[in-house]
Amino acid sequence: AAAMEAAAVPDGQYTAVVYGLIGGGRCGEAVSLLSRELQKSCRSRGGLSLLGYCHYQLQDFAAAAECYEQLVALHPELDAYRLYQAQALYKAGLYAEALRTASPLLDLPAYQGRALRLQAAIHYAQGDLPAAKSLVEEALATAADGGPGAAEDPSERADAEIILGCLLYRQGRHEEASGKFAGAMQVLGYCPELSYNMALCCYAAKQYAPALKHISDIIERGIHQHPELSVGMTTEGIDVRSVGNTLLLHRTALVEAFNLKAAIEYQLRNLKAAQEALTDMPPRAEEELDPVTLHNQALMNMDNQPTEGFEKLQFLLLQNPCPPETFGNLLLLYCKHQCYDLAADVLAENAHLTYKLLTPYLYNFLDAIITCQTAPEEAFHKLDDSAGTLTEQLRKLTKQVQEARQNWDDEAVKKAVNEYDETLDKYVPVLMAQAKIYWDMKNYTMVEKIFRKSVEFCNEHEVWKLNVAHVLFMQENKYKEAISFYEPIVKKHYDNILHVSAIVLANLCVSYILTSQNEDAEELMRKIEKGEEQLSYNNPDKNIYHLCIVNLVIGTLYCVKGNYDFGISRVIKSLEPYNKKLSTDTWYYAKRCFLSLLENMSKHMIMLRDGVIQECVQFLKQCELYGRNIPAVIEQPLEEKRMHSGKNTVTYEARLLRALMYKIIGWTA
């Protein structure tokens, strides 16, 4: 189509057509026309210049750099082309070539300021912050002296201040950095990229409300000024074509704003809002996505699409540059999904990234988790060393908070409390990893002992309280103590009872029953039932499993105690109606009870009434009917040996259990 357009340009109107396409934002079509023309006249200065401009607008920086390289060779007297070439090389990530190209411009008064700022930006991108700071200070000093290369207008000084702001941000001086960006915006007028920089400073300082305010400004302006970018269309389910990676899109800072919004919602544990932020951004094809968006997509959809998530993170790790968080997140997710060998391989293969991208704390933590698979005792000692270091820091920070409060120093209190919270967030995972070592050994007494040692710091931490409740529950003689930890968790969300994990509600109900508090158990179950009825009324298509899991756990309890008549009946009733309640998780609880029942029947340790056996057979038939498309086991992502798809269904396992039951009771067709 582009070739036909090129052929159709009338004589004498070529320039007008090209400028018309560029003016209309149709740079891709302009590239086709210009490329065709340059095949006839490859030394055309105008053609090469326009082609370089179009490539730059389309963010094809490597192609733009090639055009400007040819122009520098053809017209060495025009220094502007050398500057454009250096800028394009910098944008393409070719930093060494960009530095070499910009060096001659340092001796030219008209370009010295811009060349210094460009070189500062290049060193910043390479992580050489001292060199970047030195160059930007030189640029500011040159401008202040009014000597050769002094800034002719305030905008050039503002550009240097922006780089200084970036350096301050990297040093963790977020408030000062934000001040530099705000000062630059006063000179340059509203700029989405600067607004994004200020939002990023607020995010880094954990000031999420002002960060979201900046983000909201960027998004609203983007929607009003550029409706053609189709913001929010994908979330609404409207099929729209890709808007591409244009310079216009880059200048709106919409992609960056939506990514930061997703990160904030993710930190606030609003996963659905985080996912929506990613789909709200202007639509692009997957191959057009930038590394940060790809990283965030992988991270925020990991629960639903783990295999695709791992593929994206593995791909990003091979790219240069990639988001620095990719390496640590990939390793953590491997450990979360119990792919410890893969985590060890990635650590070994990327030793150069270990010191560059992992903090000592994170490296030691990952090392201990991986070691735990082969040498749990050694891993425990490694974690204990980390826990000891963090405990010392927490005690020092507690003292700092107390001293600051005595001195009425609000700023110092705020800083010390923030540092304390950050240190506690590091301490809790280490503590939980230690506890898990003994939990896996079923040594619950030792787990409780580990938790009691940490009560000084963690007694208000939600994760700690929840796990203390679980370990007390598992010891089977501390149900009253377990209730004292479970009850506050449930009461905190009593008006929205379904926000509480189903297993917490189930364990609390069981604890009530085993401590003869049956009325409390019944009241809690009525509350759950009302919550489910209300949610079903508001959202009829949504499947809710809270009450089902509570009943399953109670049924399991009775089976464990040997009362299979009541226990199995409770399990069966809990899964009605099957089209709403049968799932991979609920089937897991149900089949364990049936396997226990069949084992005891085969050993002639129990006898069931014929009515209960018939009830069991009918139940398994219903599971066969409704379980065709329900996986019996959720397979781990990246598993080399996949289960046979026909066998990994509730239907297959239910039929197998029914066959075993027939065999045990001696039934023949």
Residue 639 CB neighbour total at 10 angstroms: 11
Q: Which two tokens stand for residue 567?
A: 């226990």
Q: Which two tokens stand for residue 252?
A: 């709106």
Angle between helices 518-538 and 546-560 (to 10 degrees): 150
Query: Residues near 518 by Cβ (< 8 Å), separated by ≥ 6?
Result: 512
How far apart are the C-alpha atoms of 342 and 330, rounded to whole Å? Answer: 10
Dihedral sign, CA of 483, 488, 494, 500? negative
How far apart are the C-alpha atoms of 221 and 215, rounded to whole Å? Answer: 10
Distances (CA, A) of 206 to 201, 414, 428, 448: 9, 12, 20, 33
How far apart are the C-alpha atoms of 552 and 594, rounded to whole Å? Answer: 12
Position 374, amino acid: T
Distances (CA, A) of 354 to 52, 304, 339, 513: 39, 29, 19, 51
How far apart are the C-alpha atoms of 314 and 346, rounded to whole Å? Answer: 9
Position 195, amino acid: S
Max Cα-Cα span within the chain: 103
How far apart are the C-alpha atoms of 527 and 543, rounded to whole Å? Answer: 17
As a whole number of Å, the end-to-end CA separation of the chain is 71
Residue 249 CB neighbour total at 10 angstroms: 19
Picking from 242, 161, 171, the residue whose alpha carbon sits closest to that of residue 201 is 171
Phi, psi angle pair for 644, to nearest 5°:
-60, 130
pLDDT for the residue 214: 95
Q: How is 336-374 classified by DSSP, letter by letter?
A: HTT-HHHHHHHHHHTHHHHHHHS-HHHHHHHHHHHHTTT
Contacts 24+ apart (CB under 8 A), 58-61: 58/27, 58/28, 58/31, 58/244, 58/245, 58/246, 58/247, 59/91, 59/245, 59/246, 59/247, 59/250, 61/88, 61/89, 61/91, 61/92
CB 68, CB 81: distance < 8 Å: yes
pLDDT for the residue 21: 83
CB 114, CB 87: distance < 8 Å: no
Query: Residues near 352 by Cβ (< 8 Å), separated by ≥ 6?
Result: none
pLDDT for the residue 67: 92
Q: How many angstroms from the chain centroid is the CA of residue 324?
A: 13
How far apart are the C-alpha atoms of 143 and 114, rounded to whole Å? Answer: 11
How far apart are the C-alpha atoms of 252 and 218, rounded to whole Å? Answer: 7
Name residue, tokens 């990719």.
326
Q: Which two tokens stand for residue 172?
A: 């963790």
Query: Residues near 595 by Cβ (< 8 Å), separated by ≥ 6?
Result: 657
How far apart are the C-alpha atoms of 153 and 393, rounded to whole Å? Answer: 49
Consecutive sets of 10 residues in the chain, 669 residues long: mean pLDDT of each? Answer: 49 78 82 82 83 88 92 90 93 90 88 88 88 85 59 72 90 91 91 94 92 95 90 78 82 94 94 92 89 94 89 89 90 91 91 89 94 92 94 92 86 87 93 94 93 89 93 92 94 90 93 92 92 87 88 92 92 92 92 94 89 93 93 75 79 94 78
Phi, psi angle pair for 337, to nearest 5°:
-90, 10
Query: Residues near 170 by Cβ (< 8 Å), separated by ≥ 6?
Result: 124, 129
Residue 321 CB neighbour total at 10 angstroms: 12
Mark residue 576 as left, alpha or beta (left: phi above 0; alpha: psi -120 to 50; beta: remaining): beta
